[in-house]
Amino acid sequence: MAGKGKLFIVSAPSGAGKTTLVREALKAFPGLFYSVSHTTRPPRGDEREGLDYFFISPAEFEEKITRGDWLEWARVHDNYYGTSRSFVEDCLQQGKSLLLDIDVQGAMQIMASGLNPVSVFILPPSFEALSQRLLNRGTDSKEVIEKRLMNARVEMDQQHRYRYVVVNDDLNTAIKEFCAIFKKEMGREG
């Protein structure tokens, strides 16, 4: 793939603050574009179609698996998530830098794809802090939180496979560290 665009992938366990950091990087770098993933889970809070996710049915998602339409896809927390292959390839060929906010399973697929992504893992300051953040969020049942915490342990064990790791303890510090990665990798001021 001979485009000038850089591909960034960002992963974190639920509740680590990934969404906040991604929003800050997108504000700081106008030349960075966000890849909207597809999912079969229902929208949360004020999530909007086409902005936060493309919400599709499990049947539609599975049809796209069969056709090979996904650059990466995974089943996480009993829902499918995936990234459109054609969207990513088109952006990179047009010289656009693209940020993907994806789970560890999807990140591993992209790292193995030959696209040479810049990979960033966001860690919570501790497992206890992560648990408290999920409880405070108030968007999930106790059972869902327990499942997210079990998955978080597995995901956090994969942090060594990422090029960069940012610990989100103090938000302002984490934003500075996160944005410094994009500044370095994109080769220009933010």
Q: Burial of 111 by CB count in 10 Å (0-12 exposed, 13-18 middle, 19+ buried)?
A: middle
**Residue 8 three-state SS:** strand
Q: Report strand pairing: 37-39 vs 79-84.
A: antiparallel
Total domains in the chain come to 1
- Which amino acid would we find at residue 95? G
Closest residue by Cα to residue 138 from 45, 1, 13: 45
Using left for φ > 0, alpha for ψ between -120 and 50, and beta otherwise, residue 187 falls in: left
- The residues with which 11 forms a beta bridge, in sequence order, are 121
Task: Give 127 or 161, the one with higher predicted confidence.
Answer: 161
Tally the C-alpha atoms within 13 A of residue 149's C-alpha that lie toward its C-beta.
Answer: 17
Residue 61 has pLDDT above 50, yes or no: yes
**Residue 1 belongs to a domain:** no
pLDDT band with cut points at 50, 70 and 90 for residue 1? very low
Q: Which amino acid is at 167?
A: V
The model's confidence at residue 188, banded by pLDDT at 50, 70 and 90, is low
The string of pLDDT tens digits covering residues 93-119 is 999 999 999 889 889 999 998 889 999
Question: What's the pLDDT at 38?
Answer: 94
Integer Cα distance of 16 and 166 in angstroms: 10
Flag whether pLDDT at 189 surpasses 70. no
The CATH number linked to 124 is 3.40.50.300
The pLDDT, as a whole number, for residue 190 is 41
Query: For residues 59 and 137, what is the distance between their CA atoms, to the nearest angstrom?
Result: 30
**2 belongs to a structural domain:** no
Does residue 58 lie within any of the structural domains?
yes
Domain that holds residue 96: 7-186
